[in-house]
Amino acid sequence: MSYSNSTETGIRKLHKLLIGLLFSGLATVAAAAPAIIPRPPEIAASSYILMDAKTGFVIDEKNADESLPPASLTKIMTAYIAAEEIKLGNLSWDDMVHISEKAWRMEGSKMFVGVDTQVRVDDLMRGIIIQSGNDASVAMAEHIAGSEEAFADMMNQYAEVLGMSNSFFMNASGLDTEMYYNRMSARDLATLARATIENHPEHYAMYKEREFTYNGITQPNRNSLLFRDRNVDGMKTGWTDAAGYCLVASAERDGMRLITVVMGTANEEARAVETQKLLTYGFRYYETHKLYDANQLVSNVKVWSGEQNSVDLGITDEVYITIPRGQAEEMSASMELDEVITAPLEQGQVMGTINVVLEDDLLYQGDVIALQSVERAGIFKRFIDWLTLMFTNLFS
């Protein structure tokens, strides 16, 4: 990485600065005891992943990029697109949706909407999320895109935008046919779950509702973990012969939110048990740690030929990392800067990089910026600084 303020010889110097009290609990510990973490549990699933929702850090995974039939986990994308349409103003929670004969005739799990009736978007969303209604999914798809086929094109476009590189959609419900079925990977599902949680908290709140009644029929949420674990507040189950029993779940405890995906388990109980294993492991042995606040001061360095003699350096955005539980005090930080920094400097100008390590692992690397502008000094001060630098270099 090159920097604009280079020395006369153009040689960059690794400027190691131990940052004391950069953030709560960060210090260098000379003889730190290593974190003792057992290996992850054995998970009886074709594919799975355990992710920190805040940082995107993957704690454990197996076959996470394998593209598999997702069954009703497809409906997470269907509901996500509906939430996006609401956010964009193209759809309202109170809009009425016409139920076509195709939607009404859908097999499998149903919301039990009536043909040629009008159903509120708000109710359809709960029918998709809580009751896993194939009829509700098709009705929503037709309302948004005109046809389920056109909606599938939207699903694939959203997948590309979100970076879901191992997903492909052909319908809005996830129902398999003899001809085709959708495909998604565990990593893509975790990515989609994370986007739902971050971008649509109002919509995500529906996933924790334990039951929904429509047309006089009450159906419970199929995610049994909602009834077993008070930390779990989502997300969606799925099952077909091709997919097996699948579950995307999310839970929050002590300021940490985890996302799990298990695909291809043997039965309903197994998908809940295997998910619980992953959640227990993640919460017990890892934590989400805040490194920096936005625009947090991390150092102050000398500036030559400027109206001010120094400049504050900081981090642009909030920074969170995932670390082994109890290891925050064992991290150390260093910065790479130019040996000589000269004015003028602009506020927000990238001045170098900061590296945070735990033992030999690089946990974070990011830009450090100037927190203030520094104007170029007058000719007399520039001359004095030039002389000082010349003699410093001469006798160093």
Domain final position from 222, 247, 281: 281
Per the domain annotation, does 286 fall within a domain? no
- The answer to whether residue 110 scores a pLDDT higher than 90 is yes
CATH of the domain at 301: 2.60.410.10
Q: Which residue has the tokens 């360095």?
A: 301
Domain match, 347 and 250 both: no
Domain match, 332 and 244 both: no
Domain match, 214 and 234 both: yes
Instruction: Give pLDDT tens digits for 150-193.
Output: 999 999 999 999 999 999 999 999 998 777 789 999 999 999 99
Domain match, 239 and 378 both: no
Domain final position from 281, 305, 336: 281
Q: By percentage, how much of the chain surpasses pLDDT 90?
A: 83
Per the domain annotation, does 101 fall within a domain? yes
Domain match, 327 and 258 both: no
- The answer to whether residue 69 scores a pLDDT higher than 80 is yes
Q: Which residue has the tokens 């260093």?
A: 334
Per the domain annotation, does 185 fall within a domain? yes
Q: Is the bond preceding residue 41 a cis peptide, omega within 30 degrees?
A: no
- How many C-beta atoms surround the C-beta of residue 76 within 10 A? 25
CA atoms 48, 272, 59, 75: torsion sign: positive
Domain count, the chain: 2
Report, as residue numbers or ranges, the catalytic residues.
72, 75, 132
Domain match, 254 and 374 both: no
pLDDT in the model for residue 181: 85
pLDDT in the model for residue 395: 65
- The answer to whether residue 384 scores a pLDDT higher than 90 is no
Per the domain annotation, does 42 fall within a domain? no
Element (H, E) at 189: helix 186-199
Partnered with residue 219 across adjacent β-strands are: 212
Domain match, 349 and 245 both: no
Instruction: Give pLDDT tens digits for 311-348.
Output: 999 999 999 999 999 999 999 999 999 989 999 999 99
Domain match, 275 and 311 both: no
Per the domain annotation, does 33 fall within a domain? no
Q: Contact 119/139 with Cβ under 8 angstroms?
A: yes
- The answer to whether residue 130 scores a pLDDT higher than 80 is yes
Domain match, 273 and 141 both: yes
**Cα-based torsion angle of the residue sequence 74, 75, 77, 79 in order, rounded to the nearest 10 degrees:** 180
Domain match, 319 and 274 both: no
Per the domain annotation, does 225 fall within a domain? yes
Residue-range definition of the domain harbouring residue 267: 47-281
Domain match, 309 and 271 both: no
Domain match, 98 and 228 both: yes
Per the domain annotation, does 346 fall within a domain? yes
The whole-number average pLDDT for the span 16-42 is 55
Per the domain annotation, does 121 fall within a domain? yes
Question: What are the DSSP calls for 253-308, one per residue?
Answer: ETTEEEEEEEEEESSHHHHHHHHHHHHHHHHHHEEEEEEE-TTEEEEEEE-BSBSS
CATH of the domain at 112: 3.40.710.10
Q: Is the bond preceding residue 179 a cis peptide, omega within 30 degrees?
A: no
Averaged pLDDT of the chain: 90
